[in-house]
Amino acid sequence: MDVEELRQMLEHEPDALPLPESLLKRSLIPDFSRVESALSWQQAADNHYILTLDDPDYPYLLKQIIDPPTIIFVKGELHALKFPGIAIVGSRAASQTGLQIAYRLASEITGLGFAVVSGMAVGIDGSAHQACIDNDGRTLAVLGTGTDVIYPRRHRTIYEKIQYHGAIVSEFWPGTKPFAGNFPKRNRIISGLSLGTLVVEACRKSGSLITAKLALDQGREVFAVPGNILAGQSQGCHDLLKDGAKLVENVADIIEEVTALSDFHLEELRRRHHIEEVKAVDLPFASLLASVGYETTTIDDVVEHSGKAIDLVLEQMLELELQGWVAVVPGGYIRLKRS
């Protein structure tokens, strides 16, 4: 049913639809002034984009949720939307420890080639975004305002820099001011853009738990960092852990859960954008690289899986490390790049 058909039904059969009286009396004529304003916003800069559901650049993961926004406004690097993301959310009144944990995990996640998704709020969100900015990683900020409205204002610097390290995203029209009801609504986009959602610090009434619940409803992974049981900042995280969320102590705990979904996501991107997969023969030390996973892999496992002498393995692993394919972590190695 299109708008004109619905308008005619409301005019001739007002009792046929269970709608409130205020809506029955309201005109359904589109507000073309807002459309013109949005188009003017898009044309104002080269890094302004308006994406609809049928646009090939519309994020694939977001399109899979039950209620994806029919239109999103993007400010920044459009290609940043194509990378698999991990959401990091948590308390606005975060402890110093919580801020440090969010910063460290975001740094490691973006270092592995993932985009970090958050809501640009003060606290955990801001710390996660800042980590990506400091490490030249990709980060997406999903706003509860229009993309041209900076909220909170103290994050103006983060807002400006995110555009060069990722993108600002919103389903709300340019010019939309902060409204309390819009922030819970945008949370489904944060989780929808992500393979999984990590809650670093959250009390039992935290809005971050809404994002975690939405992630579960969307069939995505949920992770939580435990905290001090004597403090109230992590009660929400502990509740998530009791309900089955994965406990996170380091980035490997996240990567080992999302690798399969990430690989599927990248395959879908290759198909949609006609990107040819790099063949294993083009990779340095392909058989050795195949022995290293995205979770911590011990040197003994690398030697056993590759079938090479340990001296040769150590020499080639050093070369792979220098080329940025793997990193040394406590207990072994972890793969950084996807072929």
Establish if 43 belongs to a structural domain.
Answer: no
**What pLDDT, on a 0 to 100 scale, did the predictor assign at position 26?**
60
Q: 99 and 248, same structural domain?
A: yes
Please tell me whether the overall predicted TM-score, pTM, comes out greater than 0.85 for this model.
no
* Tokens, residue 71: 């239109």
Establish if 47 belongs to a structural domain.
Answer: no
Report the C-alpha gap between 300 and 291 in whole angstroms: 11
Q: Which of 228, 260, 292 is the last residue of a domain?
A: 260
CA angle 185, 186, 191 (to 5 degrees): 110
In this structure, the number of other CB atoms found within 10 A of the CB of residue 33 comes to 8
Q: Which of 77, 249, 244, 92 is nearest to 168 (CA)?
A: 77
Domain carrying residue 314 = 280-335
Report how many domains make up the chain: 2
Q: Are 217 and 207 in contact (CB under 8 A)?
A: no
Read off φ and ψ for residue 94, nearest 5 degrees: -75, 150
**What pLDDT, on a 0 to 100 scale, did the predictor assign at position 112?**
82
Element (H, E) at 264: helix 251-273
Q: 309 and 252, same structural domain?
A: no
Q: 221 and 139, same structural domain?
A: yes
CA angle 205, 109, 306 (to 5 degrees): 135
**What pLDDT, on a 0 to 100 scale, did the predictor assign at position 321?**
78
Q: Which of 230, 260, 290 is the last residue of a domain?
A: 260
Establish if 326 belongs to a structural domain.
Answer: yes
**What pLDDT, on a 0 to 100 scale, did the predictor assign at position 98?**
94
**What pLDDT, on a 0 to 100 scale, did the predictor assign at position 251?**
86
Establish if 252 belongs to a structural domain.
Answer: yes
Alpha-carbon distance values, 77 to 98, 182, 328 (Å): 29, 24, 31
pLDDT in tens, the chain (339 residues): 444 554 555 455 555 555 566 655 565 666 777 788 888 899 998 999 999 999 989 998 999 999 999 999 999 999 899 888 999 999 999 999 999 999 999 998 988 888 999 999 999 999 999 999 999 899 999 999 999 999 999 999 999 999 988 999 999 999 999 999 999 999 999 999 999 999 999 998 888 999 999 999 999 999 999 998 888 889 999 999 999 999 999 888 888 777 655 555 555 555 554 444 434 334 457 778 778 877 778 888 888 887 788 878 887 888 887 777 888 777 788 887 655
- Three-class SS of residue 203? coil
Q: 68 and 163, same structural domain?
A: yes
Q: 293 and 194, same structural domain?
A: no
* Tokens, residue 322: 């220098």
Report the C-alpha gap between 33 and 58 in whole angstroms: 24
Establish if 235 belongs to a structural domain.
Answer: yes
Establish if 180 belongs to a structural domain.
Answer: yes
Q: Which of 93, 82, 88, 119 is nearest to 103 (CA)?
A: 88
Establish if 220 belongs to a structural domain.
Answer: yes
Q: Which of 198, 226, 260 is the last residue of a domain?
A: 260
Beta strands in 90-212 (DSSP E): 115-118, 139-142, 166-170, 194-199
Q: 284 and 245, same structural domain?
A: no
